[in-house]
Structure 1
Amino acid sequence: MARRCEICGRGPEFGAKVSHSGRHSRRVRLPNLQRIHVVHNGRRVRIEVCTRCIKAGKVAKA
């Protein structure tokens, strides 16, 4: 499982956590993926989609 939205392709973002003293440590921001059922080619399948795509209406739930 690749932690990517199957509609828009959104995936993890990499950056740095910065503490109050200015020290940096690496971090990963993951997209909010949800498993939903959709109808694809007449079949009901389950895909992982980010909440941004669900809210925008890019995907129709089954």
Structure 2
Amino acid sequence: MATVCGTCGKGEASGNNVSHSNLKTKRTWKPNIQRVRALLDGEVKRINVCTRCLRSGKIQRAI
């Protein structure tokens, strides 16, 4: 599944895990992406959307 939101474009972020001894290893943070049926331009389509966009009402779910 894609790791990019279809409405806001939020994607994977990268950074470091930092241990107690200050050793650093690379890691990633992935957004919570859900595949939902949404109403877009009067049509029902399946799109990948982050949960923040779902919660804020940026898209309207199809029933």
Give TM-score scaled by structure 1 length. Answer: 0.90
> Which residue pairs with 2:17 in the alignment?
17
Q: How many residues were matched structurally?
A: 62
Unaligned 5+ segments in structure 1 are none
> Which residue pairs with 2:53 in the alignment?
53
* Higher mean displacement: 21-30 or 40-49: 40-49
Give distance in 1, aligned partners of 2:52 and 2:11: 12
Q: Secondary structure at the match of 2:53?
A: helix
Give the deviation of 1:2 after TM superposition. 3.9
Give TM-score scaled by structure 2 length. Answer: 0.89
Deviating runs (4+, > 3 A) in structure 1?
A: none
User: Is 2:43 aligned against 1:43?
Assistant: yes
Q: CA RMSD in A?
A: 1.2
Unaligned 5+ segments in structure 2 are none
